[in-house]
Structure 1
């Protein structure tokens, strides 16, 4: 029985350590400039799961150390729902980021993004005008586009050098016009019409060289946010899947150890009774 308690305590200590990357993933999402920092509701499920897991693992550790059955029952009960919540979050994260990806542009290293390729709840949430005004304002305040400027030997980079850059989705979608619009490069965030607009992309008429406007109202900017969000969530989901597998194994082992403790507690009085009965009585003289 002492071995079972030590095992449960050790597993809860490991569970406490596993809660750190989950909580860290939520904090990482909340501090990601240019994307999820502007979608603050998205990191809260991870933060809540991480804090809950950290708290309940401490309760399970205390229950194992002090052989407190109530704490152990609470630990197993809550841990079950934490595992279920983590499974739900992983499924949700993959479902809402399932569609959409960047497209290579001829003679360009960076990719471009199209809103119509995304679908579902997350797209509707981001594309909603009332919500998008908050997101675009957040991206503007982050100065993401203003940080794109580069110089080579003290001279601003040329168009050919810019075309060879690997831009992130926010920079590609929000800080420059789509390539099909035919704008001519002046610098990273200043483009002149070249022989008139081409193509039927509505974003061509939304582009502005005003630094507080740029392409923040473009569908390509919304697609860039979705692409950046997808990339971040997929990274966190990989960590969550690994943690989930380990948690399930720990839960099964912990539950087996808890049942073993209960069985031995129930058998203890019977064992003592048998020993008492078997003890020979003194012979009265």
Structure 2
């Protein structure tokens, strides 16, 4: 196993602004970040330990949430700093290559995809818009008498069972109504956002630990917005949200265009590279 691999944060257009920005950055291991150029493009890279980023140790590290969070935070800090200097195509977390020659091959082989995509993203940023069901006070249906089977005979049993079934039916209808209202609200929010966006991506809604235990997430979208339209975009989405009591809208950003790099199928297999991350 060699001692170091080359971690690639993203691809950008080569230029003086990038060269001036990168030397001040520190990467996922605290290492200095540099630029590798080829074919008019630049890969923002840094050295990382093979003991952490070869396929087998990386697979183990990905089970360590604290390690993964630290790497993700450092990765995003580098990408966001580069994005402030110009358009960037962020690569997936933990994309590594054996050496700089392999990175140059990546740039040369991928130029037909990278260059037009960078042109498309110039002057634009990503905003996240999540829609959650508005918090409500749940209605707990009346339960049958404790310790008494539902089929048991006796005074009052039938009345208690009917009340329980009515409460359950009311709860189901209320939930169905809440989803119908939320679906209509999502359509309004999306329409308001799309009026100022050039592209939209609908991500999978967040569930479980990703949802943070809050109200249910019913839409999780990303919008690519020209920088000079961001104020109008935010105003439109916030106005739509204020008129929709059935949902709560969360806006995050601006971000580098992670959702719009569209590189998963376009990045050539590493020429002698080690592994691509998650």
The TM-score range, normalised by the shorter chain, is: under 0.3
If asked which structure has higher relative contact order (CA below 8 Å, sep 6+), I would say: 2
From the two aligned structures, give the one with the greater helix fraction: 1
TM-score (structure 2 length as normaliser)? 0.25
Which has more radius of gyration? Answer: 1
From the two aligned structures, give the one with the greater strand fraction: 2
